[in-house]
Amino acid sequence: MVLAPGLLDTGLGEALDEKIREEKAQRSMLGIGSVDDIAATAVFLAGSDADYINAVLIRVDGGLVY
């Protein structure tokens, strides 16, 4: 199983040019995500409720539009 996060507000994006950062944020239906968004998904997947999930790529990107 693989978690594929979208653009997150972790500070690493600060190195991006503001225009590029905004363009990337506009491509996600829910905007820039947080570490908590990824953590909540990881906690769910580590729990017994996700026992029947396997061999998938889970995009946690706020509905990224390609």
Task: Yes or no: say if 65 and 29 are a contact pair by the CB < 8 Å rule.
Answer: yes
Of the candidates 64, 62, 58, which has an alpha carbon nearest to the alpha carbon of residue 42?
58
CA distance 9 to 28: 13
How high is the pLDDT of residue 14? 77
User: How confident is the chain (66 residues) per 10-residue block, as mean pLDDT?
Assistant: 89 83 88 92 95 94 86
What is the pTM (predicted TM-score) of this model?
Answer: 0.76
How high is the pLDDT of residue 7? 86
Q: Which amino acid is at 30?
A: L
